[in-house]
């Protein structure tokens, strides 16, 4: 029987070690960096004109209605959107105006999503081709923008909202939005 050199084990062991490091970093979020938004401090680009059947449609005037607000990009096919949805429902129950934009989603599916989980949005529109998502600088869904009453973007949260993020990041951004007016 031929002897196997211990050197033969180095590549598989190195691969296993690197795979473990990468997997550990992905699971814990270590090393993740949020990409900055070039639109923070700028006036929001606009809102979609396409409607979601059975829901109030977005009026561009809401962007400059003198109150801080949230604009949330979501989709029925997005699992993290489903996880963040109860947080949005709670924020809406507190009286925070939230406007929804269904990104790359069929309006009927968006309506079914809201029918099933509840509607946190004061109004909602459809961005079927993600043209507005590009204008807003979104990288995916969910993404939430905090706007001042004059329509200036105060912050962008490019991840699902959690109760912890609401306390640590969203509420301070809303407070800054209040002071901007």
Beta bridge partners of 26: none
- Residue 1 has a pLDDT of 61
Ranges of each domain in the chain: 50-180
Collect all residues with Cβ–Cβ distance below 8 Å to 143 and sequence separation of at least 6: 72, 73, 136, 156, 157, 158, 159
Reported as a single tens digit per residue, the pLDDT across 120-139 is 999 999 999 999 999 999 99
Answer yes or no: is pLDDT of 143 > 80. Answer: yes
- Residue 157 has a pLDDT of 97
- Residue 10 has a pLDDT of 75
Tell me the DSSP string of 124-144: EEEETT-HHHHHHT--SSSEE
The residue with greater pLDDT, 18 or 81, is: 81
Reported as a single tens digit per residue, the pLDDT across 9-24 is 677 766 666 665 555 4
- Can you give the pTM of this predicted structure? 0.80
Which of 18-22, 36-40, 141-145, 165-169 has the weakest average pLDDT? Answer: 18-22
Q: How confident is the model at residue 100 (pLDDT cuts 50, 70, 90)?
A: very high
Reported as a single tens digit per residue, the pLDDT across 85-97 is 999 999 999 999 9
- Residue 19 has a pLDDT of 61
Encoding tokens for residue 169? 């990041």
Mean pLDDT of 155-174: 97
Give the helix/strand (H/E) hosting 69: strand 69-74
The superfamily in CATH containing domain 50-180 is Glutaredoxin (3.40.30.10)
Q: How confident is the model at residue 6 (pLDDT cuts 50, 70, 90)?
A: confident
Question: Counting Cβ atoms within 10 Å, is residue 171 exposed (0-12), middle (13-18) or buried (19+)?
Answer: middle
Mean pLDDT of 117-121: 98
């Amino acid at each position: 029987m031929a002897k196997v050199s211990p050197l033969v084990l180095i590549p598989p062991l190195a691969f296993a070690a690197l795979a473990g490091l990468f997997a550990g970093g992905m699971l814990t979020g270590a090393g993740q960096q949020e990409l900055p938004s070039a639109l923070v401090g700028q006036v929001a680009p606009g809102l979609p004109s396409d409607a979601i059947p059975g829901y109030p449609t977005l009026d561009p005037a809401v962007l400059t209605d003198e109150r801080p607000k949230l604009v949330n990009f979501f989709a029925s096919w997005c699992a993290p959107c489903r996880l963040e949805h109860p947080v949005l429902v709670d924020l809406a129950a507190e009286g925070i105006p939230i406007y929804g934009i269904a990104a790359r989603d069929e309006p009927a599916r968006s309506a079914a999503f809201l029918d099933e989980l509840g509607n946190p949005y004061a109004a909602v529109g459809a961005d079927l081709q993600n043209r507005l998502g590009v204008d807003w600088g979104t990288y995916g869904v969910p993404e939430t923008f905090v706007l001042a009453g004059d329509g200036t973007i105060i912050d962008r949260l490019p991840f699902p909202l959690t109760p912890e993020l609401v306390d640590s990041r969203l509420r301070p951004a809303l407070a800054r939005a209040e002071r901007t007016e």
